[in-house]
Structure formats: C-alpha cells, structure tokens
Structure 1
Amino acid sequence: MGVDWIGFGYAALVSAGGVIGYLKAGSVTSLVAGLLFGLLAAVGAYLASHNPKNAWISLGTAGTLAVVMGLRFLSSWKFMPAGLMTLASSLMLVKIIVGMLKTRPHKS
C-alpha cells in the first residue's frame, strides 16, 4: 500500500488554517479546531495508508469540516477561509468515497 499523500496534505492544510486564523485574528478557537481536525485527518491518512478500507476517521473528519465550513461559507459568502475549506473537504470526501468503493469486494 502507498502512503496517502493527499490525505496528509489535507491534514497539513487544515492545521495551517487553524494556525493562520490564530495569527491573523487571535482566534484560539480556530487554532484548537484546526489542530484537532488536522490531527484527526493525519491519523485518518495514516490508517488509510495501511488499509484503504479503514477510512472512517478520514471520512468523518472531511465530512464534518465540509458541513461546518460549508454553512459558514453560505452565511458569509467569503471564499477565505470557509470557501477554501469547503472545497478542499468536499474534494477529500469524493476521494475517500471513490477509494472505499474501489476496495470493496465484488460479489459474483
């Protein structure tokens, strides 16, 4: 199995977003949420790297961020940061779901 580089990149993006939110706006909530969800995304990528069927943490993390940041985007219509995270999380959801469907055993 290969390393889930896309998943680790997504985890880094989420973590960096939390740090940038803290540095620019002094938002401790952004820092804590960014680091927590970044850690969860990294753990999910690590687990999926070893077993592609074990993508549930990644699925939950990306799904939660897609919904939460999507709602923030719809209320503000500002692309940064809510729109970017909605887009990135939605793309991760598609990647995870496609990966899970490819690894399912086919019944004949």
Structure 2
Amino acid sequence: MKDYIGYAYAFTIGLGGVFGFLKAGSTSSLVAGLTFGSLAAYGAHRVSNNSKNVGLALIVSVLLLVVMSSRFYKSGKVMPSGVVAILR
C-alpha cells in the first residue's frame, strides 16, 4: 500500500524550501527543504514497499520536529516552523 500521507508530507517540506528561497532568497532553506523532502519521500517509498521499514521516515520526522519546535520556541513565529512542528 502506498504511503500517500508520507508523500504529501515530503512534498510539503520540499515546497516549503522552495517558497523560503523565493520569498527570502534563502539558499539554505532551499537546500534543507529539498534535502529533507527527498529523504522523507524516500522514507515514504520504503514504507510503501515494506510496512516494517519505517526507520528513515521516523528519523526525518523526529529530526524535523526537534529542529522546527526549537525554532518556533525561539522565534514565536508560527510560519514556517510552527506549522512543520505541528505537521509532525
């Protein structure tokens, strides 16, 4: 069975990186968004092929939760860190 939620999450992360680049000119947002989005998509692909293979998807998810929660706590801004933390 396909992990459509995982793919949607990966797409959202990658799209967020692209929007961060377009809005603020942040190359680091672009690189991080595309890197984490690609890793999340690969993790979703692995979950789709073998339902017991959730390690990579879980690692990406927890890492983004920790990083974005920390950024939300420091800045108090809901966009984008609060939204990503809530999604995860």
TM-score (norm 1): 0.80
- Uncovered stretches (5+) of structure 1, i.e. residues with no partner: 90-108
**Paired residue for 1:74?**
73
Equivalent residues in 2 for 1:15-26, closer than 5 Å? 15-26=14-25
Identity of aligned residues (%): 49
One-letter code of the match for 1:30?
Answer: S
The separation in 1 between residues aligned to 2:23 and 2:17, in whole angstroms, is: 10
SS in 2 for 1:53: coil
TM-score (norm 2): 0.98
Deviation at 1:52, TM superposition (A): 1.1
Deviation at 1:50, TM superposition (A): 0.9
The separation in 2 between residues aligned to 1:40 and 1:34, in whole angstroms, is: 10
**Paired residue for 1:47?**
46
C-alpha distance after superposition, 1:1-40 (max 9, x if no partner):
x100000000000000000000000000000000000000
Deviation at 1:79, TM superposition (A): 0.6
C-alpha distance after superposition, 1:59-85 (max 9, x if no partner):
000100000000000001111000000
The separation in 2 between residues aligned to 1:77 and 1:3, in whole angstroms, is: 35
- Uncovered stretches (5+) of structure 2, i.e. residues with no partner: none
The separation in 1 between residues aligned to 2:39 and 2:56, in whole angstroms, is: 7
The separation in 2 between residues aligned to 1:37 and 1:86, in whole angstroms, is: 14
Moved >4 Å (runs of 4+): none
Q: What's the Cα RMSD here? A: 0.4
Q: Which has the larger radius of gyration?
A: 1
Equivalent residues in 2 for 1:21-40, closer than 5 Å? 21-40=20-39
